[in-house]
């Protein structure tokens, strides 16, 4: 069975939900940010500051390319959809779930943590990112889950979608 890839804005819960989904499906879980850190010894934030966004996105794509060959649950960085090669790869998997939430609900979740791409006004930047990335998330998504629901509901919905995919395979 092919893997399951979670996309969405920063703070939407891709990693949190992904870990629980992987556990329920008895699969391994990978967070692309964690894999990047393991490979390059830098957090995603430090990598962006050190080598720049373009190099970071290239490395992120390489990690994604390696992970999509598995049947694991993968939580991506929120901006992975911003490059054409990543979108093409995501579309080709046919197993992408977009966790969608209004930026206003994510503001508090991203207030803590090192997120250089959000800048000094995270609330405003999330609105901008939503406008920029929403068409890309729509382009790659095989399914959409309303991430404003409680985490247990989000996890259950994702598991249900994956099981439906498996039943159709």
The structure tokens listed for 32 are 């692309």
Question: Which fold, 4-168?
Answer: Rossmann fold (3.40.50)
The structure tokens listed for 129 are 């990112």
What pLDDT score was predicted for residue 122? 67
d(CA 160, CA 167) in angstroms, rounded, equals 11
Q: Tell me, what DSSP letter sits at residue 108?
A: T
**Tens place of pLDDT per residue across the chain (169 aa):** 678 999 999 889 999 999 999 999 999 999 999 999 999 998 888 888 899 989 999 999 999 999 998 889 999 998 999 999 999 999 998 899 999 998 877 666 554 554 444 555 567 777 888 899 999 999 999 999 999 999 999 999 999 999 999 888 7
Question: 108 exposed, middle or buried (CB, 10 Å; 0-12, 13-18, 19+)?
Answer: exposed
Quote the Cα angle for 114-42-80, to 5°.
70
Q: Distances in Å between the alpha carbon of 66 and those of 41, 116, 120?
A: 18, 25, 33
Give the 3-state secondary structure of residue 92: helix
Strand partners, 30: 74
Answer yes or no: are the C-beta atoms of 7 and 14 closer than 8 Å.
yes
Can you give the residue ranges of every domain in the chain?
Answer: 4-168
Sequence-ordered strand ranges (E) for the chain: 4-7, 29-31, 73-75, 96-100, 143-146
d(CA 128, CA 49) in angstroms, rounded, equals 20
């Amino acid at each position: 069975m092919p893997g399951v890839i979670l996309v969405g804005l920063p703070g939407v819960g891709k990693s949190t939900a992904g870990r629980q989904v992987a556990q329920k499906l008895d699969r391994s879980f990978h967070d692309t940010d964690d894999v990047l850190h393991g490979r390059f010894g830098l957090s995603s934030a430090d990598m962006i500051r050190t080598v720049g966004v373009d190099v970071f996105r290239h490395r992120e794509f390489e990690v994604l390319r390696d992970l999509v060959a598995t049947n694991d649950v993968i939580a991506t960085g929120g901006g992975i959809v911003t490059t054409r090669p990543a979108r093409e790869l995501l579309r080709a998997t046919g197993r992408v779930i977009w966790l969608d939430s209004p930026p206003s609900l994510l503001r508090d979740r991203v207030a803590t943590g090192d997120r250089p791409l959000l800048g000094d006004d995270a609330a405003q930047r999330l609105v901008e990112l939503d406008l920029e990335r929403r068409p890309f998330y729509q382009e790659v998504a095989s399914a959409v889950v309303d991430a404003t629901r409680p985490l247990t509901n989000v996890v259950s919905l994702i598991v249900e979608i994956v099981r439906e995919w498996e039943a159709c395979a």
